[in-house]
Amino acid sequence: MTQEFEIRSANPGDIAFIYDTWKNSFRYDKVTPGIRNFIYYPEQTAVMDAILNDDRTKVSVVCKKDESFVVFGYMVYQPKPAILHYIYIKEPFQKLGLAKALFAQGFGPEVGKTENLQCSHKTKKVSDLFSTNDRLIYNPYLICSTHLKGEDNG
């Protein structure tokens, strides 16, 4: 996929897709075993509401060039301090460098290499992306901590 894609900010038409894929892909990544669906879905929705409604949160979407409604994936993050909340790429488009492109566009070249990156939702794919890197700090408490209440816990 040689530059057949572009990265843009999410728009209101992307929000339902983001909620649906985040909830379901995180649920089936084997990160949430033992949590019943009637607990998981409303609680995860509340967590996502808090993250997505935080003014510091950014959502970048990777889409088809010249057809921005054809979405391949997205990244939910906060640039400073560097926090990755979630990254998702549709399965047919994985292993094409799209997640790395989103990451580089959102954080720049040093985050995750020489600067720490906190992660609130760590999945197998995020672990694989940083498999040899100790700069990734898994901190699930970011989603309920003072960070989301507007205080810097950086």
- At 127, list the tokens: 């672990």
Domains contained in the chain, number: 1
The answer to whether position 81 is within a domain reads yes
The answer to whether position 48 is within a domain reads yes
The answer to whether position 37 is within a domain reads yes
Contact 96, 73 (CB under 8 A): no
The answer to whether position 39 is within a domain reads yes
Amino acid occupying residue 62: V
The answer to whether position 154 is within a domain reads no
Give the CATH number of the domain where residue 140 resides. Answer: 3.40.630.30
The answer to whether position 70 is within a domain reads yes
Mean pLDDT value of segment 5-25: 95
148 or 48, greater pLDDT: 48
Mean pLDDT value of segment 93-105: 91
Q: What letter would DSSP give residue 139?
A: -
The answer to whether position 29 is within a domain reads yes
Domain containing 134: what range? 5-149
Q: Classify each residue of 124-133 as buried b or exposed e, where b means 16 or more C-beta atoms within 10 Å of its C-beta.
A: eebeebbeee
Residue 62 has pLDDT above 90, yes or no: yes
Mean pLDDT value of segment 15-44: 90
How far, in Å, CA of 131 to CA of 133, rounded? Answer: 6
| pLDDT at residue 2 in the model | 54
| Edge-to-edge order in the sheet of strand 117-119 | 5-9, 58-64, 67-78, 83-89, 117-119, 136-138
**What is the reported pTM?**
0.87
Amino acid occupying residue 37: N
| pLDDT at residue 3 in the model | 66
